Amino acid sequence: MPSLGELERAVMDVLWRADGAMTAREVQDALATRELATTTVLTVLGRLERKSLVTRTRDGRAHHYRPVASREDHVAELMRDALDDAPDRGAALARFLGSIAPDERARLRDLLG
Quote the mean pLDDT of the chain: 94
For the segment 23-33, the average pLDDT, to the nearest whole number, is 93
Phi, psi of 68 (to 5 degrees): -75, -35
For the segment 17-44, the average pLDDT, to the nearest whole number, is 93
- Is 10 within 8 Å of 31 (Cβ atoms)? yes
Confidence band of 1 (pLDDT split at 50, 70, 90): low
Nearest partner of 4 among 81, 104, 92, 56, judged by Cα: 81
User: Do 15 and 54 have their domain in common?
Assistant: yes
Q: Which pLDDT score, from 0 to 100, does residue 3 have?
A: 78
pLDDT one-digit tens code per residue, 32-69: 888 899 899 999 999 999 999 999 999 999 999 999 99
* Structural domains counted in the chain: 2
Work out the percent of the chain whose per-residue pLDDT is above 90.
Answer: 88
CATH number for the domain that contains residue 55: 1.10.10.10
Q: How far apart, in whole angstroms, are the C-alpha atoms of residue 99 and residue 38?
A: 40
Q: Which pLDDT score, from 0 to 100, does residue 82 have?
A: 92
1 is a domain residue: no
83 is a domain residue: yes
For the segment 107-112, the average pLDDT, to the nearest whole number, is 94
Half-sphere exposure of 104 (CA within 13 A, CB side): 6
Q: Which pLDDT score, from 0 to 100, does residue 18 have?
A: 97
For the segment 61-78, the average pLDDT, to the nearest whole number, is 95
Domain carrying residue 78: 71-112
- Residue type at position 50: R
User: Do 63 and 76 have their domain in common?
Assistant: no
Look at residue 2 and tell me whether its pLDDT is greater than 80. Answer: no
